[in-house]
Amino acid sequence: MDELDPIAERGYEMAEVFAFAPAEFEMKPWKMSWESPCWVIADVILFPRTAAAREKFFLNLSMPHKVDAFARLNWEDQLWKAFSARIDHVCGPHANAWWPELMNCYQKLKEGLKKTETIFQEPFRFAGRREFVTVDLATILKEEAENLSVYLAVEKGSYCEYVFLRIHSSLPFFGDKPRCLWFEKRLPDSLHKEDVLPWMVATIRRLPKMYQPPDVDLWTKRLLSFEPQLSQPLTGADKPWVEKPDLVLVLGPTTKVGYRSLTHFERRDISHIIRQNDIVTIEGKERYGWRDGTMEIDRTFYLLSFDRAAAERVERRILSGERVHFGLDADVLGMVCRSGHVIHSMNVPVETVRRLCVERGLTFDRWAAHGTS
């Protein structure tokens, strides 16, 4: 959900509004409106009445409340969540006067949400989630990308929130029987922002060749049109080290982001990067955020390249920040990840794993090294 508040955008805080008596404004719940791709906007407009209020705010103030039209959480609960966050700011000498006025607006907004026919002007109309036909990915990809909404949505679960990729026919609709198609897929919990586009491409590439669209870029560009924050910088070469993009190690092919284990290194947590012949060694700490703090896990990766020239290319791309994801590809033949006494490897001979990871005086049990293959 976009948390930007037009009042704050104009340089005002809610406390500044509540410093005035409600009688100094005309409060009017506005008609519902639509904001692509999925938002029903329930507005309250404040019209300054007195000279003091007009001098302070000059223009009318809008208090929008966004409701995800297709979320599993019902509209009324979503409205209350958005509205209650606003009334939490009620304070000052006029607080007792503001409460009944705001609650009156809330009741009107709640009634307005039931009138879905007012969202669009005729002949266009709104269609709720139940009117959509759920299809699989192969079917939705047969449609024209520009006719669909492709974006991320947060859904409330029993214990936490989950992120979904949604692809569906775009509103508004025309006619009594519009073509309403719906596809959604939950994102893996391990994904970070920089992983979403590669994951979407990997998801499409998992389909049989005959069901893949001829141009996958059209679909990633459509997602970026709704989620521009997912765009990745073309290069980080001109940025200081700590400002370069995070480094993501894929324990498997780089074409399978989201379907293989991922390790995310913030640049500040990388202790060293060393290239020796055809091997690039990366050592650092991976951070996991929790409600009560952050957990750090030490990890060491060994990227085994095809030859010395390939290792130089890998090292250069890591140091410059021109690439984010590294794993098995045209330059990297095999890789090893060591975390404490646990070792994971791919396409690496056992003797090489022993040489890189096992300290003198210790034994190495191939099968006890979890994930070694």
Give the integer Cα–Cα distance in Å for 17 and 59. 13
Residues 340 and 245 in one domain: yes
* 257 lies in some domain: yes
Residues 69 and 131 in one domain: no
Q: What angle do CA 143, 144, 149 make, to 5 degrees?
A: 90
Helix, strand, coil percentages for the chain (3-state, nearest 5): 35, 30, 35
Which of residues 205 and 361 earns the better pLDDT score?
205
Mean pLDDT of the chain: 89
* 254 lies in some domain: yes
Of 60, 83, 118, which marks where a domain is finished? Answer: 118
136-150, 161-175, 231-245: range with lowest mean pLDDT: 231-245
Residues 133 and 174 in one domain: yes
Residues 139 and 104 in one domain: no
* 313 lies in some domain: yes
List the domain range (segments joined by +) for residue 131: 124-229
Q: Is it the case that residue 90 has pLDDT exceeding 90?
A: no
* 255 lies in some domain: yes
pTM score, whole prediction: 0.87
Residues 245 and 350 in one domain: yes
- Give tens-digit pLDDT for 309-325: 999 999 999 999 989 99
Answer yes or no: are the C-beta atoms of 344 and 260 closer than 8 Å: no
Q: Which two tokens stand for residue 15?
A: 């406390």
Q: Which two tokens stand for residue 329?
A: 């590809």
Answer yes or no: are the C-beta atoms of 176 and 63 closer than 8 Å: no
Residues 183 and 271 in one domain: no
Give the integer Cα–Cα distance in Å for 253 and 8. 45
Which residues make Cβ contacts (< 8 Å) with residue 170, sequence separation at least 6? 36, 37, 147, 148, 149
Residues 275 and 324 in one domain: yes
Give the pLDDT confidence score for residue 357 in this predicted structure.
85
* 373 lies in some domain: no
Of 61, 93, 118, which marks where a domain is finished? Answer: 118
Residues 98 and 135 in one domain: no
Of 118, 143, 163, which marks where a domain is finished? Answer: 118
* 54 lies in some domain: yes
Residues 345 and 247 in one domain: yes
Residues 102 and 154 in one domain: no
- Give tens-digit pLDDT for 9-39: 566 788 888 899 999 999 888 878 999 999 9
Provide the pLDDT confidence category of residue 372 given band limits of 50, 70 and 90: very low
48-62, 226-240, 268-282: range with lowest mean pLDDT: 226-240
Q: Please, where are the H alpha helices in 177-275?
A: 196-205, 217-226
* 371 lies in some domain: no
Give the integer Cα–Cα distance in Å for 229 and 4. 15
- Give tens-digit pLDDT for 329-371: 999 999 999 998 889 999 999 889 988 987 655 555 554 444 4
Pairing mode, if any, of strands 133-134 and 181-186? parallel
* 210 lies in some domain: yes
Answer yes or no: are the C-beta atoms of 154 and 206 closer than 8 Å: no
Which residues make Cβ contacts (< 8 Å) with residue 238, sequence separation at least 6? none
- How many domains does one find in the chain? 3
Residues 206 and 254 in one domain: no
Residues 223 and 209 in one domain: yes
CA 142 to chain centre: 25
